Structure formats: C-alpha cells, structure tokens
Amino acid sequence: MYRPTRRRFVTNLGRAALGAGLFGAIGPRWEPPPPLPDPGDPDYWRLVRRQYPLSHERVYLNTGGLGPAPFAVLDAVVHTTRSLQTLSETGHHLIEETRPEVAAFLGADPDEVAFTRNATEGNSVVASGLDLRAGDEVIFESHAHPGGSFPWMVRQKEDGIRVRIFEPDPTSEEGNLERIAALINERTRVLQVSHVTAPTGIRFPVEAMARLARDRGLWFHIDGAQSAGMIPVNLHAIACDSYAASGHKWMGGPHGTGVLYVRKDRLDEVRPTETGAYGDDGDVQLPERFGYAPSARRYEVGTRNASLVAGLGEAVNFLETIGMRRVAVRAGALAAYLRERLRALSGVTILTPGKDSLAAAMITFRVEKLPYRELYRYLLGEHGLRCRIVSERGLDALRVSTHIFNQEDECDRLVEAVRAVSARQ
C-alpha cells in the first residue's frame, strides 16, 4: 500500500529542521531520518503546519466541522485512485489492509470496525439496527448533533420509541452521571452521548457512563465525531458497545470517510438495515442459506471507494507518527491558551467548561454585544478567521477548534479581533 507519511513526513520534518527544505526536496536515495525537533519547540509545530496544503489566506479554526487533510493523505488517495483505475480494479484488499491499522488506532479489533461515509452513517446503523419496540426509551444529551439525534428521532416518529434528553452539566462529571441516572427507568434501553459535544465542546466521562450503562443493562453508544483524532481513544478501555467516528474532522482523512465500531460479542444485536454484496459470510446458497459476515464488515455493502479508505489509513499513520498523546496535548494547549486570553476580555463569555477533564480542543464563546451571525461574518470577513456558528439551543455563540496545524499567533489574531469588537461602543 502507498504510505507517504513515514517516508516523507518524518524525513521532511527532520530535514526541514536542519534547514534542508520541504516537500519535494527529498532526493531519491533513502537515508535514515535525522531526529525530530522537540515537540516542545514551536518549530516542530510550524513544520507540522507545512505538511498541509491548507491555504494561508485565512485562519482555519473549524476542524470540528471539517478537518483539512495533510499532503500525505491526499497523495495516498490520488496515487491509489490512479493505480486502481490503471487496472480497473476495486482494490477491496486495500480496505482489509487498512482495517487493522484503523482498529488499532481506536483500541479495537479489526473484526469490530466497519468503514462508513461519516459519523452520521455509523450512528444511524446503530440506531436503526437495535431491536427496540414502541415505548422503549433512549437517552441522549440535549446538545446532540443532528448526526447523532436524528436517527433516534426517526425511530421515535416511525417506531414509537421515546427519546429522553438530559441537559449537559458543564461543571462536573458526577453532575452528568446524575442527570442520566435520573432518567433511567425500566423502559430505558439505550444511552448515547457525544464523546465531545459539538456546540460547546464538553468532554463527557465516557468510562464512567459505560459502567453506569452496563450496571443498568443499557446499550451504550458513543457519537465520536468530535473525539477520534482529537484525543486518544481506546474503545476496549472505555468499554462502550458501539462508537461512530468521522474520518474527515480531527482524523484529517479524506472527505466522506468514517468508522463504526460495534463490540464483537454484540454484533448480532445490531441488525444490518442496508445489506447486500460483500456484507455476507461468503457462503450464500439461494434460496436457503445466507449468513452475515462474522465481523462489522456486515455493515459495509456494495462496491466501495478503496482509495478513500487508504487515505484514512494514511491519516491514522500521520497522526501516529506524531503520536496521539502529543496531538491531544498540543491541540488542548492551544485551546487553553485561547480560553485564557478570551476570558480576560470584558463582554466575552466562555461556554466551554473550564475544568480540563471536561474540555478538550474546542472553545465556544459569546460576545455580549454582537449576535453570533454578525460576529461570524465580522471575524471571517474582516479578519479571515473561519470559526463555526453555534445556533443550537439559543446559545448564540461561536465555536473555535484548535488542531495540530494551528499556531499560537492564529489564536492571538482571534483574540485581538474579538478584543476590538468587544471594545466597540
């Protein structure tokens, strides 16, 4: 499989650190890469930034909406597409080669992982596949993204299940557990949360929630659209039943990629609702015999775009070359840097929890003098700062995502722009 990261990125980081140049400046002869600069050194992160084709014309602060992919990922997609087109082959074996890499990245087994188009699809497979009856109840947070809530709303409308929602507690882990526990009754079947919530970036204590769900006999599903690639995720350690991620946000994968995890011993509880070619066990005998693939591959049907999956594999490779712990520390440190500076401005309210364990790499804030749409237009139009509006639940705010390609001076630009507008009479 085409794997540009190790060959180019690491070598490049080292060479660029020595002043030898950037992409494309690598000679044909392989040499062991020189040591990487220290990740505590701002040069290291400037070199990481140079691995992205992302324009410098504006400051991109919306990885929570869509994350840019590094060159290595784009190269893998293009190269794989061309090779497959040259032979006119599907390249499905590449999907199987990528599966263990992506599974390991999420702390799962290859059999437990299906490739999807996005997080919504993964959430939807679980919501539509679980055997629920009219009157059964599902709990999730009021801040759930439509990609996580709509699949349940459809089941409420079509199948008569009942959706119960809790208001996230931005102040304590226990508060969230108590709010969920207060909604559980004998009809409750499922607990779902966003690992990190979309509107205000609250990070939920998913390990404790998994224990609560297990004790009460509930299916525990995590919408991980905002966690995969932002913080280290180990699904076996979390002990959830299912988890859906976006490949095209924090993971930096190609657009239209995602991952669904379903625990091996519970696969049969999630009925595939879309099925057909490649979702079977390879021994179909019409009309009597048919069986699902004995793995999460049962949720992948029909001919797939193997180049995108190979690109997602490369995205994982890229993040792991840096190290997920370092990624999380860096992204979180930028968010904390921003939070402290925004907090010091008068007329600015931070909606993201201040407690480290309840937050990660997104900061949501409100400027009292300026409604969110105007603030969004002002920051983008006058300062080239691309944030995301937060219209949910009347929050009237903006959300900023900080990832490994962002830099401190970009945070400073945002703070200065907000300072200027909040100081206006």
Task: Kindly write out the interface string for residues 177-216 of this chain, putting x where it contacts ligand PLP by CB under 6 A and - elsewhere.
Answer: -----------------x---x------------------
One residue of 4, 14, 70, 147 binding ligand PLP per CB under 6 A? 147
- Which of the ranges 44-52, 118-126, 331-339, 342-350 carries the binding residues for ligand PLP, by CB under 6 A? 118-126
- Residue 231 DSSP label: B
Least distance from ligand PLP to the Cβ atom of residue 402, Å:
16
H/E segment holding residue 242: strand 242-246
Which residue's Cβ lies closest to ligand PLP?
147
One residue of 188, 246, 295, 401 binding ligand PLP per CB under 6 A? 246
Dist. CA 226–CA 382, nearest whole Å: 28
- Residue 33 DSSP label: P
Least distance from ligand PLP to the Cβ atom of residue 178, Å:
22
One residue of 70, 201, 258, 353 binding ligand PLP per CB under 6 A? 258
Task: Tell whether residue 359 is a contact of ligand PLP (CB under 6 A).
Answer: no
Q: Where are the beta strands (DSSP E) in 136-216?
A: 137-141, 162-166, 188-194
Least distance from ligand PLP to the Cβ atom of residue 227, Å:
9
Which of 91, 148 has the CB closer to ligand PLP? 148
Name, in order, each residue with C-beta under 8 angstroms of 184's C-beta and a sequence gap of 6 or more. Answer: 139, 191, 216, 218
Name residue, tokens 């224990």: 211
One residue of 5, 11, 98, 120 binding ligand PLP per CB under 6 A? 120
One residue of 61, 119, 259, 370 binding ligand PLP per CB under 6 A? 119
Q: Tell me the two tokens of residue 414.
A: 């945002």
Site for ligand PLP in 37-66 (CB under 6 A): 65
Which of 8, 145 has the CB closer to ligand PLP? 145
Task: Tell whether residue 293 is a contact of ligand PLP (CB under 6 A).
Answer: no
Task: Tell whether residue 352 is a contact of ligand PLP (CB under 6 A).
Answer: no
DSSP class per residue in 315-360: HHHHHHHH-HHHHHHHHHHHHHHHHHHHHTSTTEEE-S-SSGGG--
- Which of the ranges 86-94, 144-152, 183-191, 203-211 carries the binding residues for ligand PLP, by CB under 6 A? 144-152
Task: Tell whether residue 225 is a contact of ligand PLP (CB under 6 A).
Answer: yes
- Residue 298 DSSP label: G
Least distance from ligand PLP to the Cβ atom of residue 198, Å:
3
- Which of the ranges 116-124, 176-184, 272-280, 287-295 carries the binding residues for ligand PLP, by CB under 6 A? 116-124
Task: Tell whether residue 295 is a contact of ligand PLP (CB under 6 A).
Answer: no
Name residue, tokens 């990190």: 196
In DSSP terms, which residues pair with 130 in a beta bridge? 270
Least distance from ligand PLP to the Cβ atom of residue 207, Å:
19
What is the distance, to the nearest Å, from the Cα of residue 45 to the centroid of all Cα atoms in its chain? 21
Sign, CA dihedral 251-73-67-356, equals: positive
- Which of the ranges 78-86, 113-121, 157-165, 392-400 carries the binding residues for ligand PLP, by CB under 6 A? 113-121
One residue of 75, 137, 223, 410 binding ligand PLP per CB under 6 A? 223
Q: What is each CA distance from 130 to 205, 241, 268, 269, in whole angstroms?
A: 24, 12, 9, 6
Buried b (16+ CB within 10 A) or exposed e, 100-127: ebbbebbebbbbbbbbbbbbbbbbbbbb
Instruction: Give the Cβ contact number of residue 164 at 10 Å.
Output: 16
Q: Please report, as ranges, the residues that interact with ligand PLP according to CB under 6 A.
A: 65, 118-120, 145, 147-148, 194, 198, 223, 225-226, 246, 258
